[in-house]
Amino acid sequence: MNPSRRNLLKWLSLAPGLAVAGGVGVASAAGSRFASKRPPVAQRKFTSPAVEALIASTKKKIADPELAWLFENCFPNTLDTTVELGRLDGYEDTFVVTGDIDAMWLRDSSAQVWPYLPLTPKDEALRKLFRGLIRRQARCILIDPYANAFLPDPKGKSKLEWAQTDATEMRPGVAERKWEIDSLGYPVRLAHGYWQTTGDREPFDDTWREATKLIVRTFREQQRKDGPGPYHFERPSLRPTDTQFLSGYGNPTRPVGMIHAMFRPSDDSTIYPFNIPGNLFAVVTLRRLAQMHGTLYGDASFAAECNALADEVQAAIEQYGVVKGEDGDFWAYEVDGYGDQLVMDDANVPSLLALPYLECTPRDARYERTRATVWSARNPYFFKGSAGEGIGGPHEGLRMIWPMSIMMKAFTTDDVAEIRQCLHWLKTTHAGTGFMHEAFDQDDPTKFTRSWFAWANTLFGELVVHLADKHPDSLRRV
């Protein structure tokens, strides 16, 4: 029987010095402090031969033993600890918890399994996992397109302490109801990627088609051309970033064609409701939906609707989302359509730093200026200390660097020296745990948040696989 998450966390926190072989703890061959931190084989939630083969082949390309150890711990963490397989409505079902919170975020679950996508043609069990998650996400969207997180039981009531008193329309099956554009963008990215990689049409049934049409209706609704729309959210909290202004509808905007977001990918409230990374991600999402509906269903009319909305949002972003700087223009983080622009970046993805990673923009001159701006003191949430440097956000406060931002810096450069520096920061700030964290103090990595954050772990693994393919020299010396 699988251990409880509490027991698993306890197991993961054991001091180094115990290796795991076939589910039995044994002394490591060389007494190495780099003994596996993975659960015993019998206690892993899901095992993929293709993933295990990739771990083995990639480790051979990594010269630094600590970096190789981190990769082996982190890359399979989603499969090892967060995947729940079953049946729902007669079909394969996959529920993916975020880690130390027993709920499924649409964004996180999509991102957590994304690095395994290239391996699906080699592993039928992995394809079943993806099909189950695509189906589950479609059903979640139909429950409530404004929710960001869901429960295993579609008819259950949220037990998350902070969601108990939310002033919003909570529905059965919903864990949290913070409206974030990327909550609808990530499931489309996952579905489109799966379809492109495998050619498998099986999960794209009438339910998925209905859910994706609801995505487009929700995007249109949140353009707010005819009033504030139905969504509002307030939370009694000492943290102002957990609630929204003006009875939960957010700060004023001019309806210019962009999509309103009440919360950022970090789950913190927006200041200006037009979040630029989220809107750029929406444009890509709409283009992907146009392609899929046109090809899978022959629905040229809906495809045209998606493309037209993408064109409208893109034009509004270009008009209102660009900051005119002395050295050239760059992307704002949030705007309101009145001319107010927020210059910053937040560590969670979508971020300005991560735009090329999500295929929202090319790495053109405007992006490079944006990248330089957000990785500097111009960004109030850029932190630099003795342990490293990177971007954080209000979610965990000042001085707290998110490893995810360092990973995105490495994903968006071809400079091997810069990549090695990022790997060094990541390697030296895990505080002996063998895993990535949500955030760490700029001067003291032992002060960190979230010991079990599967997305950060798997993203780190994805980065290493990416570098092994694109920049192998970066792994030969850190």
pLDDT digits (tens, 9 = 90+) for 270-314: 999 999 999 999 999 999 999 999 999 999 999 999 999 999 999
Please state the separation of Cα 258 from the chain's center in Å.
22
Is the CB of residue 280 less than 8 Å from the CB of residue 355?
yes
Determine the Cα–Cα distance for residues 41 and 472; give it in Å rounded to an integer.
30
Q: Which helix (H) or strand (E) holds 92?
A: strand 91-96
pLDDT digits (tens, 9 = 90+) for 99-131: 999 999 999 999 999 999 999 999 999 999 999
Question: How does residue 477 score in pLDDT terms, banded at 50, 70 and 90?
Answer: confident
Question: How does residue 11 score in pLDDT terms, banded at 50, 70 and 90?
Answer: very low
Whole-number percent of the chain with pLDDT over 90: 90
Flag whether pLDDT at 183 surpasses 50.
yes
Return the pLDDT at 10.
Answer: 36
CB burial of 127-160 (b: ≥16 within 10 Å; e: otherwise) equals bbbbbbbbbbbbbbbebbbbbbbbbbebeeebee
Flag whether pLDDT at 21 surpasses 80.
no
Is residue 175 classed as helix, strand or coil in its secondary structure? strand
Return the pLDDT at 12.
Answer: 37
Is the Cα dihedral 418, 422, 425, 428 positive or negative?
A: negative
Q: Which helix (H) or strand (E) holds 186?
A: helix 182-198
Instruction: Return the ∠ at Cα 293 (arms to 289 and 296), rounded to 5°.
Output: 130
Flag whether pLDDT at 421 surpasses 80.
yes
More confident residue, 18 or 392: 392
Please name the CATH architecture into which domain 44-475 falls: Alpha/alpha barrel (1.50)
Closest by CA position to 184, among listed 221, 140, 226, 154:
140
Q: Which region holds residue 41: left if phi is over 0, alpha if psi is between -120 and 50, else beta? A: alpha
Count of CB atoms situated within 10 Å of the CB of 50? 16
Q: How many residues does the chain have?
A: 478
The residue ranges of every structural domain in the chain are 1-37, 44-475
For the record, the structure tokens of 295 come out as 């090809």
Q: 314 to each of 69, 276, 338, 468, how far by Cα in Å?
A: 43, 10, 17, 34
Flag whether pLDDT at 30 surpasses 70.
no
For the record, the structure tokens of 197 come out as 């990689």
For the record, the structure tokens of 321 come out as 């989302």
- N-terminal to C-terminal alpha carbon distance within the chain: 40
pLDDT digits (tens, 9 = 90+) for 229-267: 999 999 999 999 999 999 999 999 999 999 999 999 999
